[in-house]
Structure 1
C-alpha cells in the first residue's frame, strides 16, 4: 500500500521543489516567492516520511478493532520534543546556526 500511495507525493515533490517560479507566475512578491521556494526545497526532502506518516496514521486510526488510536499520538509525543530541539540547534545555536533553512531541515529529519 505504501508504494501505491508514495506515487502521490511525487507530484508534490515537483511542485514544492519548483515553488519559486510557480509563485512568481502567480504574481507573488519576489522575496516571498524566493523564501518560500528555499523553505519548500528543503522541506521536500521529508516528503517520503510525511507520506508514510499519513498512511500509517490513517491505517492505525481507521481500523477501530485494532484499538490503536493512541499509537499516532504517542509517536507525535516522542518526536515533537526532538523536532523542537533540532529547530533550536539547526536554526539558532551558534556553532551550527543554519538560520532560515534550519527549520525545514529539522522537520525533515524528525
Structure 2
C-alpha cells in the first residue's frame, strides 16, 4: 500500500473537503484523489488505527492510500513503485501550501 500521510494546519475535515473539491476523480472515483492516473482513497483518522484499511497514523491526520498490488504473488517493479512515489511527492509539493499541510510518504502492507 502506498500512503501519503498529511498533517494539516487548518482542520482535517476542511482540508479533506478542499482536496476532494479540487482533485477528486470522476464517477466511481469521486471520493478519491487522482494523482498521475492513480486514484487514492482518502481517510481522515478518527483514532490512531483504521481497521477497515489497516492503516496507522495519528488521530486527525489525513491518509491518502492506494494498493500497489492486489493479489497473492502479485508484484510491482521497484522502478514503477519509485515513479508512483515521485508522482505523489510532486503532487504533494504542488498542493501543500494552498491546502496547508505537511506530509510523509509511506509504503506498507495489510493482511487481507
TM-score, normalised relative to structure 1 = 0.32
Higher RCO (CA 8 Å, separation ≥ 6 residues): 2
Which one has a larger percent helix, Structure 1 or Structure 2?
1
Which one has a larger percent strand, Structure 1 or Structure 2?
2
TM-score, normalised relative to structure 2 = 0.32
